[in-house]
Structure 1
Amino acid sequence: MPLTYTLGPAVTPELRDGLLDLWTDVSNAGGAVGFVPPVTREEIRPVLVQHFASMADGRAKLLVGHDEAGQVAATAFLTFNTHHLMTHWLWLYTVMVHPRHQGKGYGRELLAAAADAARAMDGIEAIRLTCRGGLGLERFYESCGYKEVGRIPGAIRVAPGDDREDVIMLRSPA
């Protein structure tokens, strides 16, 4: 059954807790979403609060997917550029699908919903994201319409002696 997506939902305690649980579970399952396992909800909370502040300032929108039980199952943050020469594209951050839902096509659904949301926004011509090298994520994003446009060697240090490339991907929302 497909997920139900909402762009810009009200931030309730239930949504906050669902996002913290999702982010923790994805991170601890090895997902490349800004942390290295093991990680706790309390370590993630300050970063989520920063996302909420960006949303409150109108600099970002949350796209959230709920499963049939109403649980937070997928998410991405669409973040606007503040530089006046770059307002025609936005960033896609913290793209996550809960491990219990992976392999069901929900990642493709999430990226399609993000493209639909960007397409509906005035003046947005492209979506940009980055992913951690060494995991094959770029192949998945390419299969969803993204094109690799650059790599920064050693930009992500997941552990001493374990540096990864930051892979830059871009797509038109059309």
Structure 2
Amino acid sequence: MTLTFTLDPVIDPVLHAGILDLWTDVSNAGGAVGFVPPVGRDDVRPQLIKQLAQVADGGSRLLVGRDAEGGVAATVFLTFNTHHLMTHWLWAYTVMVHPRHQGKGYGRDLMAAAADAVRTSFDGVEAIRLCCRGGLGLEHFYASCGYKEVGRIPDAIRVAPGDDRDDIIMLLPLR
């Protein structure tokens, strides 16, 4: 079974709720997506609203992966650079695969679908950049998807008092 990916889906209440549930579940499973567990939907909702506002304003685009039942199983927000000297690359934010689907290769499928979407639907974009939280091995996953570590800021992410993690910058050239 594979996921079905859609770039720029219509954001209706069902999709909004699906992404909110996904983000909450990923966060509570220990996923490095901007929160530290435990979180509830009310904790995540303001950040989701901000990201969906960027989509509505045209500053970001959304890629959604749905499972065989049609549920939201994976997402990534692809955000344009606003600096005129950096419009040739964009950011990948909030890369998520639902915990019940992890270990099935869906993360690799999501990253490949994101790269394909950028290659075919984003004129002039030559690379995807993302940051990931150190201490979880995420940089190894992204490296296996073709990304290269291009920077690291030690102890930039404080997940708890006394628990600081590196902010790891990864880049995928698309040429």
1:62 aligned partner, one-letter code: L
Match in the other structure for 2:2:
2
Match in the other structure for 1:150:
151
Are 1:13 and 2:13 counterparts? Answer: yes
Residue-by-residue CA offset, 1:25-45 (whole Å, 9 max, x unaligned): 000000000000000111100
Match in the other structure for 1:136:
137
Matched residue of 2:140: which SS? helix
Match in the other structure for 1:37:
37
Matched residue of 1:9: which SS? coil
**Inter-partner Cα distance in structure 1 for 2:45 and 2:10:** 18
Q: Which runs of 5+ in 1 are unaligned?
A: none
- TM-superposed deviation, 1:161: 0.9
TM-score after normalising by structure 2: 0.98
Residue-by-residue CA offset, 1:66-119 (whole Å, 9 max, x unaligned): 000000000000000000000000000000000000000000000000000111
Match in the other structure for 1:84:
84
Match in the other structure for 1:73:
73
**Inter-partner Cα distance in structure 2 for 1:18 and 1:55:** 16
**Inter-partner Cα distance in structure 1 for 2:52 and 2:142:** 25
- TM-superposed deviation, 1:173: 2.6
Q: Which runs of 5+ in 2 are unaligned?
A: none
User: Sequence identity of aligned pairs in percent?
Assistant: 74
- TM-superposed deviation, 1:57: 1.0
